[in-house]
């Protein structure tokens, strides 16, 4: 005991501390940092795609109600976002933005309170320019005040656009303008998701991390397949730039708006989820169909999009219009997407070794659309419908014997021509098609290019041939394999090679060739053929089936008349770079990226934009007599020399010889009497030269040479006599017009328009009503000056001159040209007003950006 008294004091203190550590509560641990704002891609709604400027308090509140009643809130959708046109056109006396009291009688704050009361969040729209795209006050120079205003109102999300931006076009300017709003939002102290919407112009994925939470990577989406396909192609390669709190944004969704098929809308949702894109709904949820809600509410896909790892799916392969994406998930699974952008059924495959899956003897696949579960040994494969996407959630599988094997049922079908009159059993004529990885190019332009053409002309002796392929991708042998083809009524499908096999080992294929006979009276169109493979699998020989559908394209000869060839879809199309572009040049790899066809300074509003290394094939059926066209190298990209050849069946009907850059268009006339197949070929020593078929007109049947070319076009304003009294709709906003020979698509003159930065409407009221009964669309040709411009069309109707507008704000880059088109069925009038095409009282076009813009040939078709 006495020795203990002699212990050093420090030792006693240490002992006491050790004892106390067992008795005292543990020290408080530092709290983990909060997740970043927008840790997963934002999910919500924006009114623009479905409503444009027609936004109001009732719509936003009822959409919030719909989020709750439809279960979309429970699925993860949170933001109810207001787009352009919500404010008055002038700021208030204090400089603040003023909500339009007619649209928002309770103000934005009142709407925010309502939305927050539903457990949701509210978004607003602003612009990094002097005015918004629709001409309302922008925030350039007002960043601090506007950010405080939005924060005071309770806004949770800002979409910040890029119109009227006063930019010098440099990336530094974009960074400066968007950083100014970032800093202003930070100073409010409110958490506001910041969506940068500069259309990918300055490559924001390279600089916007830390400034915005998401950034647009593309131009505006439209509700059609060409737009969706183009945007996927642009956004998919940007996976390295996305992650928690910073997302690539390929624009809002069009699902449910009616311009695409259910298959295409499922691709829309699938690829947005795989690309970890924001899921911002753009349809009217108050009237959305059950199918639309099922697509938007797919919990499995939402889980892939919202996975906490925050990884955008990487492109594993991308060839001939078939793409595979691979996305790791937080629980160790991987999402694998098989995407088919072509126009026909195609088998899309990837080996597990090409993905991030770890080595295993087998893998379990769960189809996120059907819920079906299958197993594969080493290849993930599916027959994917045209424009479709199959998404699997994949993980290693220890015991595959209890899980059904994955069986792919693919097919290849030639384009079909009905049999001869009389409906006998003579085999249907078919055209052999250029192949992209085994899949035929369909009877519309191929969007992916495809390299040097392989077609050598139609084979008149070929029967209508369908080839089916049943492939076992699972572990274990299939037994009693059989395949059937269910064709439309009146058609016949006869197997030419065996359609059965007793055993089919892993990765083995049963390939069957069928002869398809089509009655002579069958109209042109697309017809489904349902395919079914039956088999037995596993130790117990369990029965199972796999099905798919191939679409047969039936072509018939054109009807009598003279028509622009650009209005007829080719049976096959191969182009060295990008797609065939009707009525514009081939600008590059994407759809709709060209200008008006221009050869030797002559501008054409009709034609076929191709590149050398291209071949177009049309079925004429012996009913057409002549093709007249100009050919040449487009002024936008000098190259060549190139040669243009017209083939009537296998005989040369017209040839240009070498054509060089800058040369005037060379006219060709081809005699097509008795021709079954028309081929247009453009060639050069180096493929990819921009080669145009300008103003090609095809004559079929017994029609006079002076008969009108279809579709008929009616010029409303051509500016040959001057400005034709064009004026401005809003005098206070500025702008002038003058006749000019510098750009014209009809005659020798057009109209030069000096536009204010925020834009104005140019046109005029008419002395007498204009009757456009029978017309389906309005068009005008445009060439931008040193700055790009928006183009839009509106009309006034009836004695009250009611304003009717489409809301289709089409952008044209600086020094570029295009035809602006507005269909009458896209134009909306005020409530209670009918767009009477027989009583058009005024025609207007909208132009902006504060520079010179040239227009011509305002017309109805």
Q: Within 13 Å of residue 107, how many CA atoms lie on the same side as its CB? A: 11
pLDDT tens profile 598-637: 999 999 999 999 999 999 999 999 999 999 999 999 999 9
Predicted local confidence at residue 30, as pLDDT? 60
Length of the chain: 861
Tell me what the mean pLDDT of segment 90-98 comes to.
Answer: 97
Predicted local confidence at residue 29, as pLDDT? 57
CB 469 within 8 A of CB 411: yes
Quickly state the pLDDT bin for 804 (edges 50, 70, 90): very high
List the beta bridge partners of residue 727. Answer: 763
429 Cβ contact partners less than 8 Å away, ≥ 6 residues apart: 416, 417, 419, 458, 460, 462, 464
Please tell me if the domain spanning 561-710 has the same topology as the one spanning 714-860: yes
Asked whether the predicted pLDDT for residue 452 surpasses 50, the reply is no
Three-state secondary structure of 136-203:
CECCCCCHHHHHHHHHHHCCCEEEEECCCCCCCCCHHHHHHHHHHHHHHHHHHCCCCEEEECCCCCCC
Domain spanning 714-860: CATH 3.40.50.300: no
CB 729 within 8 A of CB 696: no
43-312: CATH superfamily? Aldolase class I (3.20.20.70)
Asked whether the predicted pLDDT for residue 404 surpasses 70, the reply is yes
Cβ neighbours around 195 below 10 Å, total: 26
Tell me what the mean pLDDT of segment 514-526 comes to.
Answer: 93
Predicted local confidence at residue 427, as pLDDT? 39
Q: Please give the distance of CA 363 from its chain centroid, rounded to a whole number.
A: 33
Inter-residue long-range contacts of 416-419, CB under 8 Å, 24+ positions, other chains counted? 416/464, 416/516, 416/518, 416/552, 416/553, 416/554, 416/555, 417/518, 417/554, 417/555, 417/556, 417/619, 417/621, 418/518, 418/519, 418/520, 418/521, 418/522, 418/554, 418/556, 419/517, 419/518, 419/519, 419/520
List the beta bridge partners of residue 618. Answer: 678
pLDDT tens profile 366-378: 999 999 999 999 9
Give me the DSSP letters along 365-400.
Answer: EEETTT--EEEESSEEEEEEPTT-EEEEEEEE-S-G
Predicted local confidence at residue 164, as pLDDT? 82
Number of H helices, E strands in the chain: 12, 54
pLDDT tens profile 735-777: 999 999 999 999 999 999 999 877 899 999 999 999 999 999 9
Residue positions annotated with a catalytic role: 161, 220
φ/ψ (deg, to 5) at 120: -115, 180
326-426+464-554: CATH superfamily? Immunoglobulins (2.60.40.10)
**Angle between helix 107-117 and 143-153 (nearest 10):** 50
H-helix or E-strand spanning residue 855: strand 852-860
Whether the link from the prior residue into 641 is cis, omega within 30° of 0, is: yes
Predicted local confidence at residue 757, as pLDDT? 76
Q: Where are the domains of the chain?
A: 43-312, 326-426+464-554, 561-710, 714-860
Predicted local confidence at residue 766, as pLDDT? 96
**In the chain, what percentage of residues exceed pLDDT 90?**
80
CB 381 within 8 A of CB 348: yes
φ/ψ (deg, to 5) at 548: -155, 175
pLDDT tens profile 538-554: 999 999 999 999 999 99
Asked whether the predicted pLDDT for residue 3 surpasses 60, the reply is no
Would you state the structure tokens that stand for residue 706, as one six-digit string? 């002076």
Asked whether the predicted pLDDT for residue 403 surpasses 60, the reply is yes
Asked whether the predicted pLDDT for residue 460 surpasses 90, the reply is no
Predicted local confidence at residue 31, as pLDDT? 61
Burial class (CB in 10 A: 0-12, 13-18, 19+), 594: buried
Quickly state the pLDDT bin for 32 (edges 50, 70, 90): low
535 Cβ contact partners less than 8 Å away, ≥ 6 residues apart: 407, 470, 478, 479, 480, 481, 482, 504, 543, 544, 545, 546
Closest among 224, 395, 238 to 325, alpha carbons compared:
238
List the beta bridge partners of residue 127. Answer: 161
Asked whether the predicted pLDDT for residue 455 surpasses 60, the reply is no
Predicted local confidence at residue 429, as pLDDT? 47
Predicted local confidence at residue 18, as pLDDT? 37
Helix (H, G, I), strand (E, B) or coil at 409: strand
Asked whether the predicted pLDDT for residue 441 surpasses 80, the reply is no
Burial class (CB in 10 A: 0-12, 13-18, 19+), 489: exposed
Asked whether the predicted pLDDT for residue 448 surpasses 70, the reply is no
Predicted local confidence at residue 851, as pLDDT? 87
For 561-710, CATH number out of 1.20.120.1200, 3.30.565.10, 3.40.50.2300, 2.60.120.1060 equals 2.60.120.1060
Asked whether the predicted pLDDT for residue 14 surpasses 90, the reply is no
Give me the DSSP letters along 232-274.
Answer: HHHHGGGGGG-BTTBEEE-----TTSSSS-HHHHHHHHHHHHH
Closest among 471, 508, 473, 469 to 376, alpha carbons compared:
473
CB 200 within 8 A of CB 219: yes
Asked whether the predicted pLDDT for residue 447 surpasses 90, the reply is no
Tokens 């094997």 locate to 405
267 Cβ contact partners less than 8 Å away, ≥ 6 residues apart: 228, 339, 387, 388, 389
Closest among 636, 676, 683 to 655, alpha carbons compared:
683
Distance CA 508, CA 510 (A): 7
Asked whether the predicted pLDDT for residue 4 surpasses 70, the reply is no
CB 858 within 8 A of CB 778: yes
Does residue 658 or residue 457 have the better pLDDT? 658
Predicted local confidence at residue 33, as pLDDT? 67
pTM over 0.85: no
Distance CA 252, CA 227 (A): 12
H-helix or E-strand spanning residue 319: strand 314-319
pLDDT tens profile 266-315: 999 999 999 999 999 999 999 999 999 999 999 999 999 999 999 999 99
Predicted local confidence at residue 787, as pLDDT? 82
Would you state the structure tokens that stand for residue 268, as one six-digit string? 């829309």
pLDDT tens profile 352-363: 999 999 999 999
Predicted local confidence at residue 420, as pLDDT? 59
Closest among 447, 426, 385, 375 to 405, alpha carbons compared:
375
Asked whether the predicted pLDDT for residue 831 surpasses 50, the reply is yes
**In the chain, what percentage of residues exceed pLDDT 70?**
91
Asked whether the predicted pLDDT for residue 567 surpasses 70, the reply is yes
Inter-residue long-range contacts of 194-200, CB under 8 Å, 24+ positions, other chains counted? 194/158, 194/160, 195/42, 195/123, 195/157, 195/158, 195/159, 195/160, 195/249, 195/278, 196/160, 197/159, 197/160, 197/161, 197/162, 197/249, 198/128, 198/161, 198/162, 198/174, 199/162, 199/811, 200/234
Closest among 575, 614, 570 to 591, alpha carbons compared:
575
Tell me the average pLDDT of the chain.
Answer: 90
CB 215 within 8 A of CB 180: no
Least confident piece of the model among 1-5, 154-158, 267-271, 651-655: 1-5
Predicted local confidence at residue 828, as pLDDT? 85
CB 753 within 8 A of CB 762: yes
Q: Is the dihedral of CA 821, 824, 825, 831 positive or negative?
A: positive
Tell me what the mean pLDDT of segment 332-341 comes to.
Answer: 98
Asked whether the predicted pLDDT for residue 720 surpasses 80, the reply is yes
**Angle between helix 225-235 and 262-274 (nearest 10):** 10
Helix (H, G, I), strand (E, B) or coil at 76: coil
């Amino acid at each position: 005991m006495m020795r203990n008294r002699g212990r050093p004091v420090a030792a006693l203190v240490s002992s006491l501390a050790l004892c106390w550590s067992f008795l005292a509560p543990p020290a408080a641990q530092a709290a983990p940092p909060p997740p970043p704002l927008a840790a997963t891609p934002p999910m919500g709604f924006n009114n623009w795609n479905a409503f444009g400027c027609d936004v109001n308090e009732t719509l936003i509140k009822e959409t919030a109600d719909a989020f709750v009643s439809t279960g979309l809130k429970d699925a993860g959708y949170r933001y109810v976002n207001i787009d352009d046109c919500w404010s008055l056109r002038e700021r208030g006396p204090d400089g603040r933005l003023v909500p339009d009291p007619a649209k928002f009688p309770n103000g934005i704050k009142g709407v925010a309170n309502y939305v927050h009361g539903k457990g949701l969040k509210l978004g607003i729209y602003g612009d990094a320019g002097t005015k918004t795209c629709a001409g309302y006050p922008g925030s350039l120079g007002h960043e601090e005040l506007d950010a405080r205003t939005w924060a005071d109102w309770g806004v949770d999300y800002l979409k910040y656009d890029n119109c009227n931006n006063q930019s010098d076009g440099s990336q530094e300017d974009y960074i400066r303008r968007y950083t100014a709003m970032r800093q202003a939002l930070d100073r409010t102290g409110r958490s506001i998701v910041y969506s940068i919407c500069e259309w990918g112009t300055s490559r924001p994925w390279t600089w916007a991390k830390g400034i915005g939470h998401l950034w647009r990577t593309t131009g505006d989406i439209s509700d059609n397949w060409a737009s969706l396909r183009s945007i996927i192609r642009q956004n998919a390669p940007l996976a390295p730039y996305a992650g928690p709190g910073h997302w690539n944004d390929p624009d809002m969704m069009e699902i449910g708006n009616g311009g695409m098929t259910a298959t295409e809308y499922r691709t829309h949702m699938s690829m947005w989820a795989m690309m970890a894109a924001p899921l911002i709904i753009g349809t009217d949820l108050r009237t959305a169909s059950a199918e639309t809600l099922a697509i938007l509410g797919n919990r499995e896909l939402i889980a892939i999009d919202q996975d906490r790892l925050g990884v955008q799916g990487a492109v594993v392969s991308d060839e001939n219009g078939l793409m595979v994406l691979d996305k790791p998930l937080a629980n160790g699974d991987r999402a694998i997407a098989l995407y088919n952008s072509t126009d026909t059924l195609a088998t899309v495959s990837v080996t597990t070794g090409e993905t991030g899956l770890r080595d295993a003897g087998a893998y379990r696949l769960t189809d996120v659309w059907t819920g079906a579960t299958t197993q594969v040994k080493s290849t993930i494969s599916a027959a994917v419908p045209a424009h479709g996407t199959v998404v699997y959630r994949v993980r290693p599988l220890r015991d595959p014997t209890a899980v059904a094997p994955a069986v792919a049922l693919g097919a290849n079908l030639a384009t079909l021509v009905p049999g001869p009159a009389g409906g006998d059993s003579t085999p249907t004529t078919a055209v052999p098609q250029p192949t992209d990885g085994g899949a035929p190019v369909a009877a519309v332009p191929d969007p992916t290019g495809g390299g040097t053409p392989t077609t050598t002309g139609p084979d008149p002796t070929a029967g209508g041939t369908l080839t089916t392929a049943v492939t076992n991708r699972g572990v274990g042998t299939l037994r009693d394999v059989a395949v059937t083809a269910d064709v439309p009524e009146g058609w016949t499908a006869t197997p030419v090679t065996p359609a059965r096999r007793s055993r089919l080992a892993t990765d083995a294929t049963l390939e069957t060739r069928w002869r398809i006979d089509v009655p002579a009276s069958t109209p042109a169109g697309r017809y489904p053929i349902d395919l079914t493979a039956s088999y037995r699998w596993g130790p117990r020989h369990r029965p199972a089936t796999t099905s798919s559908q191939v679409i047969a394209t039936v072509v018939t000869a054109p009807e009598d008349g003279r028509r622009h060839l650009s209005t007829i879809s080719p049976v096959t199309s191969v182009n060295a770079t990008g797609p065939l572009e009707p009525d514009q040049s081939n600008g590059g790899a994407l759809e709709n990226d060209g200008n008006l066809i221009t050869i030797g300074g002559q501008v054409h509003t009709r034609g076929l934009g191709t590149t050398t290394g291209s071949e177009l094939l049309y079925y004429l059926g012996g009913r057409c007599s002549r093709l007249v066209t100009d050919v040449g190298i487009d002024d936008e990209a000098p190259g060549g020399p190139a040669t243009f050849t017209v083939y009537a069946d296998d005989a040369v009907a017209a040839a240009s010889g070498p054509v060089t850059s800058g040369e005037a268009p060379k006219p060709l006339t081809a005699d097509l009497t008795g021709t079954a197949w028309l081929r247009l070929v453009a060639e050069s020593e180096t493929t990819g030269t921009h080669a145009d078929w300008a103003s090609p007109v095809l004559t079929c049947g017994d029609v006079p040479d002076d008969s009108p070319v279809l579709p008929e076009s009616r010029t409303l304003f051509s500016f040959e006599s001057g400005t034709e009294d064009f004026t401005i709709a809003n005098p206070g906003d500025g702008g002038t017009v003058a006749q000019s020979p510098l750009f014209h698509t009809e005659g020798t003159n057009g109209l030069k328009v000096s536009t204010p930065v925020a834009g104005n409407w140019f046109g005029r009221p008419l002395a007498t009503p204009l009757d456009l009964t029978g017309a389906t669309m309005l068009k005008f040709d445009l060439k931008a000056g040193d700055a790009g411009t928006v183009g839009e069309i509106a009309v006034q109707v009836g004695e009250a001159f009611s304003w009717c507008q489409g809301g289709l704000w089409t952008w044209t880059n600086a020094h570029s040209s295009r035809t602006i088109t507005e269909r009458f069925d896209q134009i909306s009038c005020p409530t209670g007003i009918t767009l009477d095409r027989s009583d058009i009282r005024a025609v207007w076009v909208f132009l902006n950006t504060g520079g010179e813009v040239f227009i011509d040939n305002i017309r109805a078709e």
